[in-house]
Amino acid sequence: MFPKLTLLQWLIVLVLLFFYGFAVFAVTRDYYLRHPTLPAAAQTPPHAAADTAALGQRMRAAFAGADSDADSAAPATLDNADPAALSQAADRLFAARRFADAIPLYRRILELRPDDVDAQNDLGLALQYSGDTAAALDVLRAAAAAVPGQQRIQLTLGFVALQAGDTETARQALARARKLAPQTDVGREAARLLDLLEQQQGG
């Protein structure tokens, strides 16, 4: 049995419910603004030019400062000896699809930290998106060989090799990426690209 309330009490209850609903909406909206969902590479073919940047973003956990002004990463940043600051500047340029401008910054990071697999991964992608596939494959092959257990670099190597028409390298790298952790997003993307490769070979 519901208690009998006066009209004024009902109005107070409705007002409280309204503000409660608004508070829930505000908190939920704030969460998704702070934790944006990354684009799903599985929704688009790997060879589409518009999708290459999306796949690059998906391969990284997130781009630091992706919504910032990319022009803030000026060439003078190359004088910086802070790999974290360089990485943020390079990632802003990458997110803005200024791949050629990002390449020197990723190379500078690797001068400071030669074993930085994330920088190698992103340098390979930036070179690929800039049209230098041969250089991209050189960087990615070396990184994948040095750290064979790094799943993301295997996926990137497979992706770029697939673009270059090197199906054997693509198949090996993608199969390795899938095997390393099949239930992760990277593992599922590797499986999707392998399926596409098999379909192309079968067709």
pLDDT for 142: 97
Do residues 118 and 180 both lie within one domain? yes
With respect to residue 157, please indicate whether it lies within any of the assigned structural domains: yes
What is d(CA 196, CA 200) in angstroms, rounded to the nearest whole number? 6
What is d(CA 85, CA 144) in angstroms, rounded to the nearest whole number? 25
How many structural domains compose the chain? Answer: 2
Q: Is the model's pTM score more than 0.85?
A: no
Do residues 33 and 117 both lie within one domain? no
Do residues 139 and 196 both lie within one domain? yes
What is d(CA 83, CA 114) in angstroms, rounded to the nearest whole number? 11
DSSP category for residue 4: P
Q: What is the average per-residue pLDDT within 50-73?
A: 43
pLDDT for 135: 97
Do residues 13 and 64 both lie within one domain? no
Residue type, 26: A
Mean pLDDT, the chain, as a whole number?
76
pLDDT class of 12 with cuts at 50, 70, 90: confident
With respect to residue 105, please indicate whether it lies within any of the assigned structural domains: yes
pLDDT value at 94 more than 50:
yes
With respect to residue 110, please indicate whether it lies within any of the assigned structural domains: yes
Angle at 201 between CA 172 and CA 142, to 5 degrees: 25
CA distances from 61 to 4, 17, 38, 81, 173 (A): 54, 38, 8, 24, 20
pLDDT class of 202 with cuts at 50, 70, 90: confident
pLDDT, tens digit (0-9, with 9 covering 90-100), for 99-139: 999 999 999 999 999 999 999 999 999 999 999 999 999 99
Do residues 55 and 116 both lie within one domain? yes
HSE of 44, CA atoms in CB hemisphere, 13 A? 14
With respect to residue 3, please indicate whether it lies within any of the assigned structural domains: no
Do residues 187 and 158 both lie within one domain? yes
Mean pLDDT lowest for which of 16-25, 126-135, 147-156, 185-194? 16-25
pLDDT for 31: 36
% pLDDT > 70, the chain: 64
Residue range(s) defining the domain that contains residue 14: 9-37
| Cβ-contact 144, 153 below 8 angstroms | yes
Do residues 99 and 177 both lie within one domain? yes
With respect to residue 98, please indicate whether it lies within any of the assigned structural domains: yes
pLDDT, tens digit (0-9, with 9 covering 90-100), for 153-189: 999 999 999 999 999 999 999 999 999 999 999 999 9
Do residues 31 and 45 both lie within one domain? no
With respect to residue 2, please indicate whether it lies within any of the assigned structural domains: no
Do residues 57 and 104 both lie within one domain? yes
Nearest to 85 by CA among 111, 60, 65, 103: 65
Do residues 46 and 121 both lie within one domain? yes
Which residues make Cβ contacts (< 8 Å) with residue 187, sequence separation at least 6?
Answer: 151, 177, 178, 180, 181
pLDDT for 126: 96
Do residues 20 and 44 both lie within one domain? no
pLDDT class of 18 with cuts at 50, 70, 90: low
